[in-house]
Amino acid sequence: MPNDPRQPPRPRDDWALFLDVDGTLLDIAPRPDAAEVPDGLRESLAAAAAALGGALALVSGRAVADIDRLFAPLRLPASGQHGAELRAAAVSAPAAGVMLLPESALDAVGSAVAGMPGVHVEIKTYAAAVHYRAAPEAGEALRRSLVPVAAATGLALLPGRLVWELRPFGVSKGTAVGAFMAQAPFRGRRPVFIGDDIADEDGFAAARAQGGLGLRVAGYAGEDWPQPATPPSFTGPAAVRAWLADLARLQGSRTAACAT
């Protein structure tokens, strides 16, 4: 059923694939440092990247070093911290114009959330995330505490799934897609972005602007978070992983066809 909103398109080997990590490839954990990479996912990602001629990038709110730690020994092209960090080649570097988070911003975030139970602050190099998965009712109080922090530190404050993200203005998952698409092996391919959160909408828009697709992964049933604009194509991370395994098999079938 081509119009079934839960039916993703069949993967093609002329795509450039951009994948969010948490909630897209990995099941959401109580804290980001508790997320686990399921058996077989590294192998599927490596094979999918090979099927796409290397045009597969991870685009996450996590830092690139954290993405590498999770998926080691795999080391894929990656963008971290919502587009603030890019690694198309061997070395990770900030996007143009992005500055390290100043000490004052770290102190201000810490003070803003002090004494709020169930809140976990994740400080990165260019961005910070304030997670409240363990205190879902704290979202609005946190927002009120963080608005002045964002204003004072010159950072953008964005909502996510039980998280508030502070990140530099001028970068996003969309700018990361644009940066990758300007260079080999991404250039000339059709961009396809898969993600589950509000920040991924920028990635979807950038992919669509270049004739590609934005495919959303559904959140948990009953989860109380702002519903993004894009209807879901995947029921959850397990469906994305199964789809990736299909993409990985494109490489295998093509190799087999060549061998005969």
Site for Mg ion in 52-111 (CB under 5 A): none
Q: Is 192 helix (H, G, I), strand (E, B) or coil?
A: strand
Written as six digits, the tokens of 31 are 């804290």
Written as six digits, the tokens of 110 are 């810490």
Q: Shortest Cβ distance from residue 110 to Mg ion (Å)?
A: 24
Instruction: Kindly report the length of the chain.
Output: 260
Q: Are strands 232-234 and 213-217 parallel, antiparallel or unpaired?
A: parallel
- How many residues line the site for Mg ion (CB under 5 A)? 5
- Rounded Cα distance between 87 and 251, Å, is 24
Site stretch for Mg ion (CB under 5 A), options 33-41, 133-141, 190-198, 249-257? 190-198
Site stretch for Mg ion (CB under 5 A), options 51-59, 71-79, 193-201, 248-256? 193-201
Q: Which of 68, 197, 201, 202 binds Mg ion (CB under 5 A)?
A: 197
Q: Which single residue is written with the structure tokens 């698409």? A: 181
Residue 122 found at the interface with Mg ion (CB under 5 A):
no
Q: Which of 20, 66, 122, 165 binds Mg ion (CB under 5 A)?
A: 20
**DSSP one-letter code for 22:** B
Q: Which single residue is written with the structure tokens 């490489």? A: 251
Residue 23 found at the interface with Mg ion (CB under 5 A):
yes
Measured CA distances, 157 to 19, 120, 181, 199, 209 (Å): 22, 16, 26, 11, 25
Q: Which of 68, 196, 201, 202 binds Mg ion (CB under 5 A)?
A: 196
Nearer to Mg ion, 108 or 216 (CB): 216
Nearer to Mg ion, 108 or 130 (CB): 130
Q: Which residues contact Mg ion by CB under 5 A?
A: 20, 22-23, 196-197
Q: Provide the annotated active-site residues.
A: 20
